[in-house]
Structure 1
Amino acid sequence: MQQLSGLDASFLYLETPNSPMHISGLYIYTQETAPEGKVRFKQILEGTANRVKGIPSLTRRLKEVPLGLDHPYWIDEGDFDPEFHIRHVALPAPGDWRQLCILISRIHARSLDRSRPLWEMYVIEGLDNVEGYPKGCFALFTKMHHAAVDGASGMEITAAIHDLTADAHVEPKSVITRPDRDPSTLSLLTRAQVNGLRQPLRFISVARNTVPGFAKVFMQLRRGDLKRVGSVPRVRFNGTVSAYRVFNAVSLPLDDVKAIKNAVPGATVNDVALTIVGGAMRKYLEKHNELPDQSLVAMAPVNVRDTKEKGTGGNIVSTMAVKIRSDVADARERLIAVHEGTQTAKEYSNAVGAKTMTDYSQFIPSTLTAQAARLASRWGLVNQINPIYNCVITNVPGPQVPLYNTGARMLSNFGTGPVADGVGLFHVISSYCGEFSISATSCREMMPDPDFYRDCLMDSFEELKLATLGSRPATRRKPSPAKTIAKAKAKTTIKASRPKTATKARAKVKPKRAATAATAKKRA
């Protein structure tokens, strides 16, 4: 039995009926590399159940402390019911990208069952008409509660269910675990009482280690050596969210992203991602006549997990507030400004201390926080206070080597995240085998037109590429054997929309780019 940290428990306290707090991954596979060219649901069910045995995050359920007097506990049941957690669905014909996005949005909007281990996996077949993918593809969509995993620990679980070759054979595991005894109400209340008595001493210990750092930061802010982001403008994504979600994504060549990064000295791939999102949000809000003069601000989670903490699950993260410079019209100048801003944000974060938030989160009052979150959602209090961020942008790097599940090769991966009152737009940046993807999850009422936002992301990338690399042609990645075979087999297949690629979207971007430039000139 293990008690949740304050940071892990906060995702339970902040969860409301309209704001489920789970993170998800979407993986698309081709069956052509599988034995006999076919993968059956039973194989995925048995293979996944065998591989994840012994991973605590997938076999533990919650045990609440009576009256919410302390943070909950994880009770390890030693096993799980695979037929409950791993589910099978199919897209109706034609099975295109838009249908997949709608299905993902609906599944992601539903909360997890707290009486079970907090995860689900959906096997989605019928991806027969998604442009750029061979017919007969299937997808896996995983949901895991943020109280159990963060992005980094989620990737560790992803690695556990994949192989490096199509013909890998995994022997059935014989994992012996001792299920935890279900604690009595009296024992939980006793633990809560003891923890309550120890809390002041813990707080003094943490304060003794962090107060000198806070004092140093305060003096640096007064001297102007450090800078904060300042005030944050209010936009449509800073309101109260509904219970409904939308999802969409774009796929970009990673080589092009790296080339753009190299065009600005000192810039990083993360800077390029922030710049693309900043340009996309500028275009989106400008189209709706809602673009503020101030720069939008993103919350960027930072993984502070060290080597000893790998494989432990839970959340070990810090955060940075970063300006995404939506107030800068020129794409190259925006990248330069974003790079300068991220350097300042890193200096501020390092001065405060990377794990300071994690250290203080253990003192979050359990009952008060949960009740405050529910009341704030019910009364719409987020509309009465100044916003802290306008969106979330998290970067979860993936492997650059092919991965296989039951012999099927993964072609792409995307991600979704929780949106909440006050922060109704969540971006997941991921990479895999030369592909760089940007996924967006939002409230359906805040973003009724996710396809247009996808176009904004694509247009923003094209503008940035043109501004930094000039007329250099898009990088053409060598297609995988699976894609090559599929194209030869299905030249006449009708193609539906999928996450757009840079080379195919350029013709559409030019008129929009000219209009955007004219609008920016007029605003200046």
Structure 2
Amino acid sequence: MEQLSGQDAMFIHAEIKGLPQHIGGVTIYNPATAENGIVRFKQILAMLRSRVHLSPIFRRKLAPVPLGLGQPYWTEDPNFDLEYHVRHIALPQPGDWRQLCIQAARIHAIPLARDKPLWEMYIIEGLDNVEGIPPGCFALLLKVHHSAMDGPTGAHFMSLMHDMTPVVEEPPEAPPWIIEQPSTLAMLTRAYLDALRTPGRAVRMLRDAVPTYRRLRRGYAEKKFEKTGDIPRTRFQGKVSPHRVVDARTFDFATVRELKNAVAGATINDAMLAIVSGAMRLYLEQKNELPSQSLVTGCPIDVRSPEERATGGNMVGFMSVSLCSDIKDPAKRLAAIQRKSTEAKAYAEALGPRIAVDITDLLPGGVLAVAVRTAAITGLSESNVMANTVVTNVPGAPYSQYLCGAELIKSFSLGPLLPNIGLFHIVYSSVQKKQGAITLSFTACREMLPDPEVYAQCLQDSFDEMCQSLLTKGQGQSTGKGKASTAKKKAAAKKPAAKARSKGPAKASARTST
């Protein structure tokens, strides 16, 4: 039995109609590497059944404190049924990429049942017409509530289901399953004791506010960062509908590394932010809605200490970064994003990266829940623009992975939408087909972004523009012999956007490989 932290519980309280707060992803497997070239659904069930003891996420559910007087608890579900959580479906014919994205969006839009462990898994067959995917492949769609894990803990959770070779390894023997049920008296007693400690924690936070104020004032004076101006409203701000769209594009990791190396001090994250910035700029230009001010993204950051790396749940800070979308030239835009990203990191460090964790731990659960719902009902959550989108980075495994012997060959992530933010990007780096790849996926409100294939093409066009600008004009120095010239040839051989749009994601990946 374990009580949720304030930040974990925040994702429970923030879940209102139309805004389910789970995360997830789609992974595609080639069973050719499995024994006899086949993976059956019953094999996947057997593998999962043998490994459910490796993570508490599998079998625990929520136990709310009466009257919302404290944060809820995790407790073991005595009625846990693996086959409720793992479902077997197939795409309708012809089973192409667009149908896979539509199916993923529909499943991702449905909230998880609160009276059961907060995860679901779908094995999806019928992918034979997804371009670039061998016949017979299948997909796995996983959704887990954000209260149970964030990106880093999600990567660990996924590793529990995979092997590093096609040989399925036997997990350690499961210990006895002990089911603890929290009593009402115990939960109320804990809530009372927490209430007694709250004034002390508040005093400590106020005491820490003085050096925080000094660090911020010194940072402004030394011009390490500057105040953010008004953030413009776009079509991605407003009331978020319950409907979702998803899509993704995959880029070669070596080429993205060349792009960041072309600008002194830039990082891989800066390069990916520049791709997102260019894509949003292109998309809003097509709609005649591009604001003159720069767009701003929110970037979650992992604030775990080295000792906390193995802990579950959420430990996430947040920083705002200008996307410099008011700059047309891709090379100048990346350089500007590098500067703004450095400023944002300095500001987050001065503010204290764990401040979000501390505040959510201080607020009583019931107060936070009422505040979230009141803001939603009154429209207060839509009055102020905190960011135009979110871009988060999820690290993937730096090695090949296998599910019941089937090799993982493609993947993309699914994120939650937030009040007043109807577009969410996830950067996922991984080894796919034994090559380094970066997948940039997005989840969006269908009312705000009704044409996801158009925005996916904007991501591709933004990447191509950056290659053309940074890798064909001799701007900056690129590492790796021969790779720059390859990227130049591919950028020069870029197909017209209309023609490329009909090709789908597999062709886009081929165009970006080096």
Scaled by the length of structure 2, the TM-score of the pair is 0.91
Distance in 2 separating the partners of 1:152 and 1:8: 14
SS of the equivalent of 1:56 reads coil
Deviation by residue 1:329-380 (Cα, 9 ceiling, x = unmatched) = 0001110000001000011111112212212221123223222322333343
Q: How much has 1:496 moved relative to structure 2? A: 7.0
Correspondence for 1:473 among 480, 483, 486:
486
Aligned to 2:464: 462
SS of the equivalent of 1:419 reads coil
CA contact (8 A) 1:322 1:342 kept: yes
Aligned-pair RMSD on alpha carbons?
2.1
Aligned to 1:23: 23
Distance in 2 separating the partners of 1:87 and 1:121: 6
Deviation by residue 1:176-210 (Cα, 9 ceiling, x = unmatched) = 23211x22323322221221111111222333344
CA contact (8 A) 2:250 2:505 kept: no
Deviation by residue 1:479-518 (Cα, 9 ceiling, x = unmatched) = xxxxxxxxxxxxxxxx973355255489xxxxxxxxxxxx
Q: 1:235 to 1:207 in 2, by over 3 A?
A: same
Distance in 2 separating the partners of 1:505 and 1:44: 33
Aligned to 1:487: none
Aligned to 2:128: 128
The within-5 A match list for 1:88-487 is 88-171=88-171, 173-180=173-180, 182-221=181-220, 224-383=223-382, 385-433=383-431, 434-470=436-472, 472-474=485-487
Sequence identity of aligned pairs in percent? 45
Deviation by residue 1:10-42 (Cα, 9 ceiling, x = unmatched) = 111111120000001111111111110000001
How many residue pairs align between the two structures? Answer: 487
SS of the equivalent of 1:228 reads coil
SS of the equivalent of 1:169 reads coil
Distance in 2 separating the partners of 1:169 and 1:187: 41
Distance in 2 separating the partners of 1:316 and 1:301: 10
CA contact (8 A) 2:31 2:407 kept: yes
Distance in 2 separating the partners of 1:390 and 1:22: 20
SS of the equivalent of 1:436 reads strand
CA contact (8 A) 2:224 2:346 kept: no
Distance in 2 separating the partners of 1:456 and 1:100: 20
SS of the equivalent of 1:348 reads helix
Q: How much has 1:386 moved relative to structure 2? A: 2.3
Q: Which stretch of structure 1 is more off in the superposition, 46-55 or 221-230?
A: 221-230
Distance in 2 separating the partners of 1:426 and 1:201: 37
Q: How much has 1:51 moved relative to structure 2? A: 2.0
Q: How much has 1:297 moved relative to structure 2? A: 0.5
Q: 1:476 to 1:175 in 2, by over 3 A?
A: farther
SS of the equivalent of 1:393 reads strand
Q: How much has 1:216 moved relative to structure 2? A: 2.3
Question: Partner amino acid for 2:362?
Answer: F
Q: How much has 1:399 moved relative to structure 2? A: 1.9
The within-5 A match list for 1:45-124 is 45-77=45-77, 80-124=80-124
CA contact (8 A) 2:51 2:171 kept: no
Q: 1:271 to 1:288 in 2, by over 3 A?
A: same
Q: How much has 1:76 moved relative to structure 2? A: 2.9
Q: How much has 1:304 moved relative to structure 2? A: 1.6
Question: Partner amino acid for 1:422?
Answer: N
CA contact (8 A) 2:77 2:116 kept: no
CA contact (8 A) 2:132 2:506 kept: no
The within-5 A match list for 1:26-45 is 26-45=26-45
SS of the equivalent of 2:168 reads coil
Runs of at least 5 residues in structure 2 that lack an aligned partner in the other structure: 474-484, 491-501
CA contact (8 A) 1:21 1:418 kept: yes
CA contact (8 A) 1:249 1:499 kept: no
CA contact (8 A) 1:474 1:503 kept: no
SS of the equivalent of 1:299 reads strand
Q: Which stretch of structure 1 is more off in the superposition, 16-25 or 309-318?
A: 309-318
Distance in 2 separating the partners of 1:395 and 1:171: 29
Q: How much has 1:262 moved relative to structure 2? A: 1.0
Distance in 1 separating the partners of 2:21 and 2:218: 37
SS of the equivalent of 1:387 reads coil
SS of the equivalent of 1:127 reads coil
Runs of at least 5 residues in structure 1 that lack an aligned partner in the other structure: 478-494, 507-524
Question: Partner amino acid for 1:168?
Answer: V
Deviation by residue 1:317-338 (Cα, 9 ceiling, x = unmatched) = 1111001111110001110000
Distance in 1 separating the partners of 2:505 and 2:92: 16
Distance in 1 separating the partners of 2:505 and 2:261: 29
Q: 1:420 to 1:356 in 2, by over 3 A?
A: closer
CA contact (8 A) 2:23 2:415 kept: yes
Q: How much has 1:122 moved relative to structure 2? A: 0.8
Q: How much has 1:213 moved relative to structure 2? A: 2.2
Aligned to 2:477: none
Distance in 1 separating the partners of 2:254 and 2:472: 15
Q: How much has 1:223 moved relative to structure 2? A: 5.6
Deviation by residue 1:80-114 (Cα, 9 ceiling, x = unmatched) = 32101111111111110000000000000000111
Distance in 1 separating the partners of 2:154 and 2:29: 19
CA contact (8 A) 2:29 2:410 kept: yes
SS of the equivalent of 2:311 reads coil
SS of the equivalent of 2:188 reads helix
Distance in 1 separating the partners of 2:415 and 2:488: 29
SS of the equivalent of 2:115 reads coil
Distance in 2 separating the partners of 1:344 and 1:199: 33
Distance in 2 separating the partners of 1:164 and 1:475: 35
Distance in 2 separating the partners of 1:386 and 1:187: 40
Q: 1:332 to 1:294 in 2, by over 3 A?
A: same
SS of the equivalent of 1:113 reads coil
Distance in 2 separating the partners of 1:19 and 1:207: 33
Q: How much has 1:451 moved relative to structure 2? A: 0.4
